């Protein structure tokens, strides 16, 4: 009997093949037009893929590919961007996605606003304990001038709805 020869191929080839087999976003199930490959929570871009020339065999690839996901742009932005300090953006997005009939672009808009607001809070070192009180977002509007702007107000109200929903869950 002939010993099975382990064929090795560059990792980049495996990744490119993987990309071609993905048709829908792993997270929201939307058909993919522009996809983002995410490995262990990190986005890997085209340039990075091109540089992955280490030789691997099918067994190694199989292990690696279990931690690989293909996401649409929308989901990749929300899942992989830098962690937020105050708002639980990921859970909030999931809530909007599952509990409301909002379009992707509207959800994205809310998420972007809260992200900006989160940065503002982090910049001015807003106390976390004050934020996590039930009236947190109200005091926020009083304490942080920028938070009172109407686009942030709307996003905060929506976030409040999410918090209430979560409390009653």
**Residues that bind Zn ion in the complex, under the rule CB under 5 A:** 25, 27-28, 30, 72, 75
Q: Which is nearer to Zn ion, 42 or 125 (CB)?
A: 42
What's the min distance (Å) between Cβ of 153 and Zn ion? 28
How near is the Cβ of 73 to Zn ion at its closest, in Å?
A: 8
Cα–Cα distance, 47 to 107 (Å, whole number): 30
Cβ proximity to Zn ion: between 35 and 147 the closer is 35
* Least gap, CB of 104 to Zn ion (angstroms): 8
- Name the token pair of 163: 């918090």
Residue 42 structure tokens: 């990190």
Residue closer to Zn ion by CB (options 58, 67) is 67
Q: Where would I find the H helices in 2-149?
A: 11-21, 46-50, 58-65, 73-80, 89-99, 104-123, 128-131, 136-143
Shortest Å distance, C-beta 69 to Zn ion: 10
**CA dist., res. 86 & res. 4, Å (int):** 54
Cβ of residue 74: shortest distance to Zn ion, in angstroms? 5
Of 64, 74, 67, the closest CA to residue 34 belongs to 74
**Sheet containing 35-39: which strands, arranged edge to edge?**
42-44, 35-39, 68-72
Nearer residue to Zn ion within complex by CB, 75 or 117: 75
Closer CB to Zn ion, residue 28 or residue 144? 28
Q: What is the CA radius of gyration of the chain?
A: 21
């Amino acid at each position: 009997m002939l010993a099975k020869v382990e064929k090795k191929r560059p990792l980049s080839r495996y990744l490119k093949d993987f990309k071609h087999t993905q048709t829908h976003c792993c997270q929201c199930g939307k058909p993919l037009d522009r996809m983002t490959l995410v490995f262990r929570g990190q986005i890997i871009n085209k340039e990075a893929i091109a540089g992955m020339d280490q030789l691997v065999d099918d067994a190694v690839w199989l292990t690696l590919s279990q931690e690989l996901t293909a996401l649409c742009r929308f989901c990749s932005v929300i899942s992989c961007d830098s962690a937020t300090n105050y708002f639980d953006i990921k859970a909030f997005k999931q809530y909007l996605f599952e509990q409301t009939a909002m379009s992707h672009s509207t959800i994205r808009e809310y998420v972007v606003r809260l992200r900006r607001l989160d940065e503002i809070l982090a910049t001015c070192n807003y106390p976390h304990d004050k934020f996590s009180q039930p009236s947190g977002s109200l005091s926020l509007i009083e304490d942080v001038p920028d938070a009172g702007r109407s686009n942030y107000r709307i996003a905060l109200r929506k976030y409040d709805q999410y918090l209430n929903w979560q409390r009653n869950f």
